[in-house]
Amino acid sequence: MSTQQKVAIVTGASQGIGAGLVKALRDRNYRVIATSRSIKPSDDPDILAVAGDIGSADTAKRIVSQGLERFGRIDSLVNNAGIFIAKPFTQYTQADFLSKIATNVAGFFHITQAAVEVMERNRSGHVVSITTSLTDHANASVPSALASLTKGGLNSATKSLAIEYAARGIRFNAVSPGVIKTPMHSPETHAALSALHPVGQMGEIRDIVDAVLYLESASFVTGEILHVDGGQSAGH
């Protein structure tokens, strides 16, 4: 087995931004460990599909151990899996809270910890997390306190980890999107969602993929929260 090709883990990889990331990384000759609850096996021998709940520590261990067994290395991790629930604060249920914490926070923690343990051995690696521009630019028309609580925490953790591991060759960055045109947004919502952005349109999956690829190649960039949000974070 050749271990010369770089290997990336992508969470939430079965559709939308995750699927776009898998394709783009393969186009760059990366081998990819793709994971989500519903992901199907791939015919591509350089894609390892691992099904499971990213909020589970056992899933994270399985992703990393199977990836090492198949490809022999882990160079990058893209924490793409996430849940977004927009509700007035007092209408969030216990189930809403627990599901967001499980996927957005525990999902980040377990897989990042397991992947970084591998990266430390080689003193090299890169972790990118997909967050949301709403964490630092709240919008009254999109009540999203749980997104700010969870994804905002990832932005802060990204900066903390970037400093903790800067001298050990491991970089940490985040991409902070606006609303991206994915299957989770039905076509009839597109006009209203486009209006949330100063540029007057939703983002495309490719916009987020390009941002991740830039950060992946930008060896002098760490601790960065890169806004890809059609101007939302600048103001209205």
pLDDT tens profile 171-211 = 999 999 999 998 888 898 999 989 989 999 999 999 999 99
Q: What is the pLDDT of residue 43?
A: 96
- Give 95-162 as a DSSP string: HHHHHHIIIIIIHHHHHHHHHHHHHHHHT-EEEEEE--GGGTS--TTS--HHHHHHHHHHHHHHHHHH
Q: Which domain holds residue 109?
A: 7-228
Q: State the Cα–Cα distance between residues 84 and 152, nearest whole angstrom.
A: 13
Q: State the Cα–Cα distance between residues 15 and 71, nearest whole angstrom.
A: 23
Query: Does residue 22 carry a pLDDT above 90?
Result: yes
What would the two tokens of residue 189 be? 């919502």
CATH number of the domain residue 224 falls in: 3.40.50.720
Q: What is the pLDDT of residue 91?
A: 96
Q: Is residue 26 part of a domain?
A: yes
Q: What is the pLDDT of residue 3?
A: 59
What would the two tokens of residue 113 be? 């910890």
Give the H/E segment covering residue 205.
helix 205-217
Q: What is the pLDDT of residue 2?
A: 52
Query: Does residue 124 carry a pLDDT above 50?
Result: yes
Quick one: pLDDT band at residue 140, thresholds 50, 70, 90? confident
Q: What is the pLDDT of residue 1?
A: 47
Q: Is residue 1 part of a domain?
A: no
Q: Is residue 75 part of a domain?
A: yes
- Coil, strand or helix: which one is 22? helix
pLDDT digits (tens, 9 = 90+) for 47-76: 999 999 999 999 999 999 999 999 999 999
Residues in the chain: 236
Q: State the Cα–Cα distance between residues 143 and 136, nearest whole angstrom.
A: 13
pTM above 0.75, yes or no: yes
> For the chain, how many structural domains are there in total?
1
Query: Does residue 146 carry a pLDDT above 60?
Result: yes
Q: What is the pLDDT of residue 139?
A: 86
| Contact predicate 100/150, CB 8 Å | yes
Q: Is residue 73 part of a domain?
A: yes
Q: Is residue 233 part of a domain?
A: no
